Each structure stands twice: as structure tokens, then as C-alpha cells.
Amino acid sequence: MPSHVIKEIKLIFPHFVPEWENLQSLCLSQAKDFKVRPEAARWYPVMNHSPTLGVFHDSKLLSVMRLSWYNSWPELNVQMNSKIIIDEIKFPVGYLSKGATHPDFMNSGFNALMRYHFIKICQELKLHFLMGTMIEGSSRVETMKKMGYKFTLNPVPWQGYYQSEKKALIGFLNIAQDSAKALEYLENQFSQQIREYQIQFEMAEIKKNYPY
């Protein structure tokens, strides 16, 4: 990688949507372990109400992830395609989704890099938990356990935009208790990425543009 490449993390605003949709379509077309409906690669107006981060090399979008937040089990279960209540969960919670990385940059640590910054955003917004859903057997599960995530099985099969015969896991990180541990782990394992990729947003900007 040439040393002069500008490496940045930016908020994804509407003018980035065509690039976002192209990246989603490319990544989802190569997805393993699950099938995807075309609608999953579309940007919907509701997505303007919470932050999506993008990793850029110069002006090229290479990786994305979205944070949304929820205040009750009914609305969260719709997002997760589940029918579950986890007793220790306290609302409001954050939920990470729409993660995608260009195939040429897989294993570059972009998912961990954006997760690092989203954990900091959750701390700032005083969200109680950070949650997400993934396929059982994913290598990311073990990494997330080292960060302090706990997991429970989603009893409902993935049959929405994403469809899989494999079991889905719901992961959750207690922000008050375990976010410091998670950040320390990421700082140790992904220090180069955290150092090299410049943040092009402010926490005040997050609070102003995405009130909840």
C-alpha cells in the first residue's frame, strides 16, 4: 500500500449512498453461509437517523458499518428477526449492522476498527449495551468473546433480508462493565489501524445529527 494513501474514517451522509449501495451489493453477492434478498443492499431513509461509518482510502469507500439504537424489546426484536428477552439487557441499546468490506480488503481489521469507534460512541451516548447478530461458527465470535461480549442463541431462523440454515447468535456487550476491556483488547490487537486511520467526525457532530 503506497504510504501517501489518505486513510480516513468518515460518517456516511446521503451523497455517499451510491457508493454504499455498490459496496453492499458487491459484498452480499459473495456472502457465504447465508442468502440475501436484493433489498438488503439498499439505503432506506430511516438509515439517515443514526450513524453509519465508512473506511476510506483517499476517496474510495472500502468498508462500512451502521449503529442504530432501540428503546424496547418489540422494536429490537423486529430488527433482529427474533422473539427473545434477555433479562440483563437494559435500554436504550445500540445495535451494529450493515457491515461490509470490499473483498480485496478482507482481513484488514476494518470491522474491528469501526467497532472500536462505535463502542466509544456508545459510551458518549450512554447506551447501556451494544448488540449484534451473526452466524454461529463465525470466527468473529471468538474475537468478540475476548472483548467481553456474551452470546445467546436466536431461536428464530434467519428468514428476513438474510436467510440461513445455520443458527444465528445474538451478541451483547455491557457498556458500563465491559467497554473498557473491549477497547483495551482492540487497542492491543489493532493498534496500527487505530493509529493510521484518521477520524473525520466529532462526538458533538454525532450528538447533533443523530439525537435519540
Q: Which residues contact 212 (CB under 8 A, 6 or more apart)?
A: 50, 69, 92, 125
Q: Please compute the mean of the pLDDT values over residues 51-78 and round it to a whole number.
A: 97
Q: What is the largest CA-CA distance in the chain?
A: 50
- Say whether pLDDT at 157 is over 60: yes
Domain span at residue 191 reads 7-209
The whole-number pLDDT of residue 135 equals 85
Residue at 39 is within a domain: yes
What is the rounded CA–CA span in Å between residue 48 and residue 52? 8
* pLDDT tens, position by position, 66-99: 999 999 999 999 999 899 999 999 999 999 999 9
Q: Please compute the mean of the pLDDT values over residues 115-135 and round it to a whole number.
A: 96
Q: State the residue for C-alpha cell 440475501.
A: 36
Range 182-185 contact pairs with CB under 8 angstroms and sequence separation of 24 or more: 182/119, 182/147, 182/148, 182/149, 183/116, 183/119, 183/120, 185/146, 185/147, 185/148
The whole-number pLDDT of residue 163 equals 66
Which range, of 43-47, 156-160, 169-173, averages the lowest pLDDT? 156-160
Domain count, the chain: 1
CATH code, domain with 24: 3.40.630.30
Range 32-35 contact pairs with CB under 8 angstroms and sequence separation of 24 or more: 33/135, 33/137, 33/164, 33/166, 34/135, 34/158, 34/162, 34/163, 34/164, 34/166, 35/162, 35/163, 35/164
Element (H, E) at 147: helix 139-147
Q: Please compute the mean of the pLDDT values over residues 28-37 and round it to a whole number.
A: 76
Q: Please compute the mean of the pLDDT values over residues 10-33 and round it to a whole number.
A: 91
What is the rounded CA–CA span in Å between residue 36 and residue 164? 9
- Say whether pLDDT at 164 is over 80: no
Q: Please compute the mean of the pLDDT values over residues 45-65 and round it to a whole number.
A: 97
The whole-number pLDDT of residue 7 equals 98
Residue at 1 is within a domain: no
DSSP, residue by residue, 117-144: HHHHHHHHHT-SEEEEEEETT-HHHHHH
Residue at 2 is within a domain: no
Whole-number percent of the chain with pLDDT over 90: 79
Residue at 89 is within a domain: yes
Q: Which residues contact 51 (CB under 8 A, 6 or more apart)?
A: 11, 66, 67, 121, 206, 209, 210
Residue at 113 is within a domain: yes
Q: Please compute the mean of the pLDDT values over residues 184-188 and round it to a whole number.
A: 98
- Say whether pLDDT at 1 is over 60: no
